[in-house]
Chain A
């Protein structure tokens, strides 16, 4: 790794650490939240917002901007964190998670700068992202559309309607990132309803699929830099992640899909993140 790349990775890892800290900060402010699926997405979001995506935080409606749709909208604490860190929204908003009339609730709201769609009802993001990618193609615009989907979310059939359409239209300007943290609300995804074999499913639907380590920043950056992986196909990145990543007691357990966060838990989490 050359020095520039090394510095980039270090920078992105730092942003990801801040995302995790801000997830815990916001959920403490709100009294709780979807920590698990927010923390699993932190590295991917940091790489998108601080490296890969062409965005203008001071001009959030810039027509040529790359689009990001958080289909797994319950990870809004993570989205709010990157939007604040990137400068789309005021940092103080993170302390208003779940607050009365706050722009920052459990799920993303399109009225907030940088938020591209109201999501959280699962299975909605990919169809909308297909529309954005088709909109770019029709208007001969160069932007790329990213959509992050949960693994349990893939139970929703609308995803597969959209997957068929995206392949039919050869939407190489579309990338779906599956936050494959293996756990949904009731337990392990493979015990609730298995989504395996996941990469094979996307390939069978006509997508270019690649499995990556969603917490290895170099792997994430190299993959995002290589997009599109196929000039005639949409890309599915199956990102293997750990639910609750970064804080041992929250890792790999459905109990932290959504949970209460008080001052004591918050202090313990920050110690584990090395950011007390």
Chain B
């Protein structure tokens, strides 16, 4: 079910289906296309696979060490001089620890800083609760000016990273850890910021998912189709700004909405969808995600299953709405 632990040297070189490494690869292209791009590391050179970038663009790379508050402040200062900083960091630390710097120096000052946040969710399952990021979407999407993106796979991570070149404001890119995420959807499809991708049509239920739960939602849809239940699946890769039209259409055209995410049920994608629907188009809802507890230690796959982030959980939620 889970990839066995692999040694750091192997990590470094393998081109795995890991969104964190796709970010690093995309930075190579960004470095070539945008002379103002500068990459900032918090002792995270391998975490985001940026050694090739560093080799090629050494004069536009800054290592700042294990100091997330300073990393965000420096990135903001760089941006004020006209540069385009890309921060490489751990999701749990760059959001929770340096939240005030992200809020004031980046969001309030509205600087063009892109935060590449690896190891989100419970992707570092064995590391324990200190290294899980299950509240990062809630924190980041609560900030005015902030764009929040959760790429579903390496194709989308690469394209979303390139798309940040055209975003006039701060961006939070939520990336995975060592977990290898399956390719989802059409690898040739363009990335359209703020526009959900419909992966399955459906009229009974709509599952609105992000990140690792999108693939599970597709599987759930395919399983339920065999029972004659029609489940729409939306990959909601942009959490902010939210694709209101796709959500309102799903609520109007189905009998209920299931949200699915690797994040606490408080304040994440489910919360964002519920906030919209409660006001604009009240709908029956079920939310799949991390309950209000800290996760135990374990490999990511079994942890996801234990806490109800699974294909089965999505199937059950869909059925519950049709009862």
Contact = CB atoms under 8 A, between A and B. Distances in A.
Q: Is the contact region of chain B dominated by helix, strand, or loop, or is it mixed?
A: helix
Interface stretch (A128-136, A192-200, A203-211): A128-136
Interface string A112-140: 00001111010110111111111110110
Given A139-B83, A158-B73, A164-B65, A127 B78 contact: no
Given A131-B75, A138-B38, A158 B69 contact: yes
B208 interface: no
A132 B69 contact: no
- Kindly name the residue among A118, A133, A157 whose own CB sees the greatest number of chain B CB atoms within 10 A: A118
A129 B78 CA distance: 9
Nearest to B64: A165
Contacts of A116: 80
A130 B77 contact: yes
A63 B74 contact: no
Nearest to A162: B70
Interface in A131-166: 131-136, 138-139, 141, 157-158, 161-162, 164-165
A126 B77 CA distance: 9
A117 B81 contact: no
B67 interface: yes
Given A117-B105, A118-B105, A134-B78, A123 B69 contact: yes
Contacts, number: 100
A127 B77 contact: yes
B309 interface: no
B67 A132 contact: no
A130 B76 contact: no
Nearest to A63: B82
Given A128-B76, A131-B74, A141-B81, A165 B105 contact: no
Contact of B80 (A119, A135, A164): A135
Contact of A118 (B38, B64, B75, B108): B108
Interface residues of B, number: 29
B297 interface: no
Q: For chain A, give the interface size range.
A: 20 to 34
B77 A110 contact: no
B275 interface: no
Given A117-B109, A127-B101, A139 B73 contact: no
Contacts of A110: 109-110
B67 A161 contact: yes
Contacts of B76: 117, 127-128, 131
Contacts of B82: 63, 135, 139
Contacts of B77: 117, 127-135
B244 interface: no
Contacts of A133: 77
A127 B69 CA distance: 8
Given A132-B77, A132-B80, 19 more contacts: A116-B80, A118-B105, A123-B69, A124-B73, A124-B104, A126-B73, A127-B69, A127-B74, A128-B80, A131-B80, A131-B81, A134-B62, A134-B74, A134-B77, A136-B81, A139-B83, A157-B69, A162-B67, A164-B67
11 contacts: A110-B109, A110-B110, A127-B74, A130-B73, A131-B76, A131-B81, A131-B85, A135-B80, A158-B101, A162-B73, A164-B65
Interface of B: 38, 59-60, 62, 64-65, 67, 69-70, 72-83, 85, 100-101, 104-105, 108-110
